[in-house]
Amino acid sequence: MEYCSLMSGSWGNCHYVKAGGTRIMIDAGQSGKRILNHMAVARCGDGSELEGILVTHAHRDHVIGVGILARKLKIPVYATEGTWFEMGALTGDIPKDLRRTIGAEDCWQIGELELESFPTSHDALESVGYVLRHGSVSLGIATDCGVFTSRMERALSNLNGLVLEANHDLNMLRFGNYPEYLKRRIAGVEGHLSNADAGCSLRKVLGPQTRHVVLAHLSEENNCPDIALRTIQDALENPAAASVEGLFSKSGLTGVKAIERQGLRISVAPRCIPGEWMAL
């Protein structure tokens, strides 16, 4: 299985996964034209091989391109009943033969991929995350969640790869220019995970099989990759390991920054350009 973030953040969110002969997209939060351009840049093909678009929830930065891509490429769209109810005004009409309704806790298959949905805590009806499995290989995707629930912990423990929200730095949000109502919404239980929350969550789910973590949906105003990675690093270090020189090494990539820790690579999904490919 291979994963690539095509964009990540309030500007737009879109994830691409290929497993054997199966290709799927999770969310499509920019114009169809821009998403197809990003697919070309990331060498994801022209979209004709896509077998499904999975939607996490019905906010504009996750669904605005869903309708046009589904209609243009004749791709089935998978979403919960609540998401279908909310996203119609944003996506336009999607033909009935392309509509697939899933439960918030469901299991099904697309091609060679086995899929599982799980509920997330966000201010959208029936918001979900996903676990994807291809044989013995597994990938979890969980963004836009105000709290990391025990149900999420069960779903995401010891996966080979994980895409997890690290939306904001608490101090940058607290002292930033956002109005107070928006600060409360972002920091609330139906908002977004902070860097510190993401670090604590990772401590709960990282296991011996976990090799890749991508930090996603970083706020442009209230976060930056260096701060997110440093906070995650601090959360994962323990007193015995903290004194080991070189436990973490920082490396620079084009548009991506990453840290490595004892066989685990943690990178940041860029906001407006495709990220690096993650091979699982």
Instruction: For residue 179, give every residue at least 6 positions away whose Cβ sits within 8 Å of its Cβ, in sequence order, or none.
Output: none
Indicate the number of domains in the chain.
Answer: 1
Instruction: For residue 176, give every residue at least 6 positions away whose Cβ sits within 8 Å of its Cβ, in sequence order, or none.
Output: 183, 221, 222
At 238 the pLDDT is 58
At 162 the pLDDT is 98
Sign of CA dihedral 137, 117, 194, 238: negative
pLDDT in tens, the chain (280 residues): 999 999 999 999 999 999 999 999 999 999 999 999 999 999 999 999 999 999 999 999 999 999 999 999 999 999 999 999 999 999 999 999 999 999 999 999 999 999 999 999 999 999 999 999 999 999 999 999 999 999 999 999 999 999 999 999 999 999 999 999 999 999 999 999 999 999 999 999 999 999 999 999 999 999 999 999 999 999 998 533 333 323 344 443 334 478 987 889 999 999 999 999 999 9
| Burial class of residue 276, CB neighbours in 10 A (0-12, 13-18, 19+) | buried
CATH of the domain at 52: 3.60.15.10
User: In which domain, by residue range, is 148 found?
Assistant: 2-279
